[in-house]
Structure 1
Amino acid sequence: MAKWLAAEVPEWLLLILLVIGLPVLMLLLESLVHRWVPHWRRGEHNDATGIMLSAAAVVYSVAIGLCVVTLWEKRSEARAATEAEAMNLAAMAEASRVASPEVQAAIGKVVLEYNRDVLENWSSRTHGEAAPVVGETLDSLASTISTITPHTEPERAFMLDAVRRLAAATELRADAVRLAHEQQLPDVVWISVITGSVVVLSLCVTCGVRDGLLRRVLVAGVSATIGVNVFLAVELNYPFDGRVSIHPDSYRHVVELLESRG
């Protein structure tokens, strides 16, 4: 459900539903509850209700806050992994200038092909799946490097750096794919978030405030706050999917750079 919301529902519509629709729904529910149980408005049990509501709100705030912070950190980690993956091989292509023109052209061609393959198979990355063709291109790059025979110190230094970057490319690619898959919050965490939201909102309508306007403002404010937090959790839960997602700009930049070199 959360994946469908992030991928198919525009973020502006989801934001309206959670930040405006949810408060409106809670105001209607609050009106019905106090119509059915009118003595709650007198606030005779506000002391007990307030303590329970405060405890639930604190626990919920800590839980949802940790979820959002964790998702943002992992999203930043996933973005850094994709940028490092793209720029790692681009640096290898740039460093190949110390080699012969034939070697430089061969490495540049394979690195260009690698980044093009990543762009063409980006949909696989968004689902946390490794595209076989990208791995095959990486193997082709390894084969190209293995055929190089260094004759000068700069060429030997380049070979050592190329081997190191090739090993790093495999690790970075695996990390990017892993982060795309593992970013999702487990179902049990989503159940906790939804349950906590329902509990806090339910306790809100039990508090008795004689001033009708103030009561509605408080209920709407709490509902909007919860809606914003749920919106952030939904949108950040899938770093490579949905409208608010990581785009393959780094790979596209490398392709443009290598194409401009001819």
Structure 2
Amino acid sequence: MPKDAVPALSDATRVFVDDPGATMSLSIYLLMLPSWLAILLLTAIAVSFSIVGFLVVHRFIPVKIRQIHNDVAGFIFATLGVTYGVMLAFVVIVVWQQFNDAEVNAENESSVALLLYKDIITYPNKVASKTMQEVYLGYLRKSVEQPEERPNQRSYEESMATINQLLLIIDGVIPESSHEQILYTQILQNMNELTKYRNLRHQAASSTLPSVIWIGVLVGAIMTIGFTFLFGTENVWAHITMVSLLAALIAVVIYVVIELEYPMIGNVKVGIPYSYHKILEFAAAKS
């Protein structure tokens, strides 16, 4: 089979433009920035909100009135803080587990991809082996040059089309000996495993937290920070400092959630299976 039968490779920038329905969300925008800049931006937004909100409350509700209710407000704020803290911890655990799953699946995909390549190049039928190698290496090149860092249906469909093309070639191979039959069975098994982990990688790139969870996180942040405005302290600057520190802490935790929510993009990401690069390097050195 000629090499030009493999779908043409495209520039990595197509990840952002191929899908007409894809939009540049705030989360994706933040992940495209360096970590320190994204954290600084989120923190600046949260701290600015807290300072402006506090000054508005301080302007219309005198300190003496707020001081009267400090004891009662303290008990209520403790309950609110614990509730929001538990919810935020739950969200972090969920995205951390999803990130770990994506990492494990990528490692499994890497191992299976290497085993499949070894089976293909050692297949006794040289004609069938060469044809399978051409299509398989084309799939690996596409995956390396066009990583699925964002949910992108077209790039996923092109990758799966190449896998289906390889499956058709394998289906047409007729083993002529017991040794070929053993390798043929291993190739089929590894192809099924590779397809499974490839689908899981696509799901990891496409899955996000439900909007209701984000609503809870953001509303909880606003309520928790806003409640601190109701306390009364004689030292206004001390109050502003405490409110700002709380807002900054919440902003940092929210950034951690955003970073872990997208395991295929950002400064902390799973990335393409490692063996893809090694196989292509080996094939290039061999040719």
**Corresponding residue number in structure 2 for 1:38:** 62
Aligned partners of 1:191, 1:180: CA distance in 2, in Å? 21
Shift of 1:243: 4.9
Contact conserved, 1:98 with 1:154, CA < 8 A, in 2? Answer: no
Contact conserved, 1:78 with 1:179, CA < 8 A, in 2? Answer: yes
- Secondary structure, counterpart of 2:68 in structure 1: coil
Shift of 1:91: 1.1
1:226–1:37 Cα change, 3 Å: same
Identity of aligned residues (%): 21
1:259 pairs with 2:284: yes
Shift of 1:127: 1.1
Aligned partners of 1:179, 1:160: CA distance in 2, in Å? 29
Shift of 1:24: 4.4
The worse-fitting range, judged by mean Cα deviation, of 46-55 and 192-201 is 46-55
Shift of 1:68: 1.8
Pick from 163, 179, 191: which aligns with 1:138? 163
Q: With structure 1 as the length reference, what TM-score do the two structures score?
A: 0.84
Aligned partners of 2:229, 2:256: CA distance in 1, in Å? 24
Q: Specify every segment of 5 or more residues in structure 1 that has no aligned partner in the other structure, as ranges.
A: none
Q: How does 1:198-209 map to 2 (within 5 A)?
A: 198-209=222-233
Q: With structure 2 as the length reference, what TM-score do the two structures score?
A: 0.78
Shift of 1:200: 0.2
Shift of 1:196: 0.2
Q: How does 1:161-240 map to 2 (within 5 A)?
A: 161-182=186-207, 184-240=208-264
Aligned partners of 2:35, 2:65: CA distance in 1, in Å? 37
Choose between structure 1 and 2: higher helix proportion.
Answer: 1
Aligned partners of 1:41, 1:253: CA distance in 2, in Å? 69
Aligned partners of 1:204, 1:76: CA distance in 2, in Å? 36
Which residue identity is paired with 1:49? A
Aligned partners of 1:218, 1:41: CA distance in 2, in Å? 20
Contact conserved, 2:204 with 2:262, CA < 8 A, in 1? Answer: no
1:99–1:14 Cα change, 3 Å: closer
Shift of 1:131: 2.7
**Corresponding residue number in structure 2 for 1:75:** 99
Pick from 93, 111, 127: which aligns with 2:151? 127
Q: How does 1:244-255 map to 2 (within 5 A)?
A: 244-248=268-272, 250=274, 251-255=276-280
CA RMSD of aligned residues (A): 2.7
Contact conserved, 1:110 with 1:141, CA < 8 A, in 2? Answer: yes
Contact conserved, 2:32 with 2:266, CA < 8 A, in 1? Answer: yes
